Amino acid sequence: MQLPDEAIEFNYSGVLLPHSEAWTPLAELQSKHYLRSERVEAVKQQLMSVRQQVASERMMVNPPAKMLPLDSGFIDLPGKLMEQYRRKGKSSELGQIIQAAEKLKEEVDRVVVLGIGGSYLGAKALFDSLCHTYHNELPEKMRPKKPRIYFEGNNVDNDALQDLLDLLENICVEPSLREERWGAVVISKSGGTIETATSYRVIRQELVRYYGHSPEELRKRLVPITGPSGKLRELSLADGFKDDEILKIPDGVGGRFSVFSAVGLLPAAVVGLDVLALLLGASTMTQRFLSEPFDRNPVLQYAAINHLMATELGKDTRVLAVWSKKLEALGLWYDQLLAESLGKQGLGPTPFTVVQTRDLHSRGQQHQEGTRDKLINNLVVKGTKHAPIQIGMADRNEDELNQFSRKSLPDVLNAAFRGTNQAYAESARPTTDLILPTLSEHTMGQLMQMLMLATVVEGRLMGVNPYGQPGVEAYKKNMTAILKAESAKGSGGSSFGTVH
């Protein structure tokens, strides 16, 4: 397990009010839209109290009712999983996850991951950021025993699911051949989320149709991941799964905080990612959060700067500008993390993700000259996995690129990044930079744990419980009631727009 020496860094100088000797129009704008450094200094003591609060919350066994829900188990989970694995090996929780992944890899060449929200977004972020961009298109020799992977059960899209079924039906014809076998991972803590439950019913029926009605054949190609109780566990037990064959989502770990449980680790292991490096990166970030002072603590820095920009300067539209297309899914994972954690009591920032430089040609105009309600957090990767691609010389120079022939694509991206930040600074548009030395399991472990911890810290700064998502339950309740009413009437359902 090779790990990079560098840790991720957070640079927030782009939001601090620079010293100005004389009045200028730019200085006037900066005074209204940038933070004074003394304000950052003033919040440090409050941050120390919040850190102590968050640290103590993770030790509570029976928290008082007013603190519930308290899903702080994610904080120590990476370290606990690694320690159990060191002591117990294959019989540990992580050992069981790795074994389940190895069995699935041996059995099938395609895996359908069913889950919604936190039950799939973290796994998708890891897959997109760390696997080959065209992983599913690669021949077997370029991804030995690393199955293709598809994410479903995150919507109720009839045609999208049918397209997947069509693919499986036409590609997977002979179940005796591994390259034509497929399996599934179903993830739901309660088993009651209807989007995942309905997709699972369909996928389970397809598995039975393809492999036959043998429970043993089903269990070889299906892995359930769920809570200690609930509908999915009951269904899995009824299908003949033993208790230790059902991977668990631990108590005290909420869905959007579950990426370092079986929820994220099993899909990661299935496609050959180093799950120990992921956990080590996450555990390292937890230790930095708990022990490092503010000046070396990216969790506290990120939470403080984003909180102050929103509450004191009105920058409550929070843009995560990822400077790698491989990090778009990470941004969508973070969108859910922030929105569900902090969007409560009429409060909370509005998150969205842009991919640079792609979205400079769509959102860029708005960010440069639109409403001044945004803080742009750049997420930058310093190194590349592959050797830099050179622009090179060409016989035809109508594109006038020969002048840059010695430059590479990373050089162009760096120039775009610097030029964009400069343009924002010249019009008093605040930015920060979250810097990864490279894209690896270790850095992604750090990054995702940092963002989860920072979200909890910001929630406590706001006076909002960052756990739970009571607002999400409203649509679920209404949807179930409508389905029950229409089923009782024998109705085929209403068309869109007719239910009020």
Q: How would residue 2 be classed by pLDDT, with cut points 50, 70 and 90?
A: very low
pLDDT tens column, 18-30: 988 899 999 999 9
Q: Which long-range contacts (CB under 8 A, 24 or more apart) does 365-371 make?
A: 367/319, 367/424, 367/429, 368/423, 368/424, 368/427, 368/429, 369/427, 371/317
pLDDT of res. 452: 98
Rounded percentage of the chain residues whose pLDDT exceeds 90: 89
Cα–Cα dist 163/200, whole Å? 15
Could you tell me the pTM of the whole model?
A: 0.95
pLDDT digits 0-9 by tens, 53-97:
999 999 998 899 999 999 999 999 999 999 999 999 999 999 999
Residues 55, 106: one domain?
Answer: no
Best CA proximity match to 185, nearest among 166, 170, 199, 171: 199
Give pLDDT, residue 21: 81
Q: Residue 69, preceding bond cis, omega within 30 degrees?
A: yes
CA-to-CA distance for 204 and 195, rounded, in angstroms?
14
- Establish if 492 belongs to a structural domain: no
**Neighbouring C-beta atoms of residue 319, cutoff 10 Å:** 22
43 belongs to a structural domain: yes
In a domain? residue 446: yes
Model pLDDT, residue 450: 98
- With a cut of 80, say whether residue 32 has pLDDT above it: yes
- Select the more confidently predicted residue: 368 or 191: 368
Within-domain flag for 487: no
Residues 343 and 288 in one domain: yes
The pLDDT of residue 494: 56
What CATH number is given to the structural domain containing 177?
3.40.50.10490
Statement to judge: residues 283 and 342 lie in one domain: yes
Residues 351 and 445 in one domain: yes
Instruction: Using DSSP, state whether 113 is helix, strand or coil.
Output: strand
Q: Structural domain tally of the chain? A: 2
Instruction: Indicate whether 261 and 282 sit together in one domain.
Output: no
Is 179 within the bounds of a domain?
Answer: yes
pLDDT tens digits for range 441-476: 999 999 999 999 999 999 999 999 999 998 888 888
Q: Give the pLDDT confidence score for residue 312 in this predicted structure.
A: 96
Residue 480 resides in a domain: no
Domain identity same for 59 and 114: no
* In a shared domain, residues 228 and 108: yes
103 and 235 belong to one structural domain: yes
Answer yes or no: do 49 and 118 share one domain: no
* Longest CA span, the chain: 81
Would you call the peptide bond into 384 cis, given omega within 30 degrees of 0 as the criterion? no
331-343 per-position pLDDT tens digit: 999 999 999 999 9
| Overall average pLDDT of the 180-189 stretch | 97
> How many residues does the structure list for the chain?
500
Of 238, 221, 240, 222, nearest to 230 (Cα)? 238
Specify the higher pLDDT residue, 251 or 275: 275
Q: Indicate whether 307 belongs to any domain.
A: yes
Say yes or no: 242 and 340 in one domain.
no
Domain of 383? 9-67+278-394+403-462
Active site residues: 340, 361, 476
What's the whole-number mean pLDDT along residues 364-369? 96
Q: What's the pLDDT at 429?
A: 98
Domain termination site, one of 208, 241, 273: 273
pLDDT grade for 6, boundaries at 50, 70 and 90: confident
Q: CA-to-CA distance for 28 and 352, rounded, in angstroms? A: 28
Domain boundary among 256, 273, 290: 273
Q: Is the pLDDT of residue 1 over 50?
A: no
Cα angle 38-40-42, degrees, rounded to a multiple of 5: 70
Whether residue 312 is found in the same domain as residue 354: yes
Query: Is 27 found in the same domain as 84?
Result: no
pLDDT in tens, 130-178: 999 999 999 999 999 999 999 999 999 999 999 999 999 999 999 999 9
339-363 average pLDDT score: 97
Check residue 117 and give its pLDDT: 95
> For 9-62, where are the E strands, in sequence order?
9-11
Residue 492 predicted with pLDDT over 90: no
Of 254, 273, 292, the domain-final residue: 273
User: Is residue 483 domain-resident?
Assistant: no
pLDDT at 38: 96
Question: Is 80 exceeded by the pLDDT of residue 387?
Answer: yes
